[in-house]
Amino acid sequence: RRELPDGGARPSVAQFKQLVVSALRELHGEVGASLPVDVLTYEEKTLSAILRVISSGLVKLWSALTLLGVYQNRRCAFRVLQVKLTSPFLLALSGNSRELVLD
């Protein structure tokens, strides 16, 4: 989730994806920018997104987002709410196993 402490413009999904790619480029260069990152869902109101990246690129993506501090000359921060590593299937993103009620 992206946070804007000063308020400010809310990016569209295309601008959000460009922001992620530019954060990767800024920290890891062109190799980082070439990392395949998909925006699976994006909510413009809450600035929340679900990103998909190969497990070997998780540290690069996480570090690039964490160290990004400015968007359009305004302070911003990313907060990682959840990471799922175990399943390559999209169905695994549909639920939170911590909220399951077992009979």
Global confidence as pTM = 0.73
94 in any annotated domain: no
Q: Is the pLDDT of residue 21 over 60?
A: yes
Q: Is the pLDDT of residue 86 over 60?
A: no
81 in any annotated domain: no
61 in any annotated domain: yes
pLDDT the model gives residue 45: 87
CA distance 71 to 54: 25
84 in any annotated domain: no
88 in any annotated domain: no
Confidence grade of residue 41 (pLDDT, cut at 50, 70, 90): very high
Number of domains in the chain: 1
46 in any annotated domain: yes
**CATH number of the domain bearing residue 18:** 3.30.70.3250
Look up tokens 């987002």; give the residue. 65
- Residues 60/30, Cβ–Cβ less than 8 Å: no
Could you tell me the residue range of the domain that residue 17 belongs to? Answer: 13-75
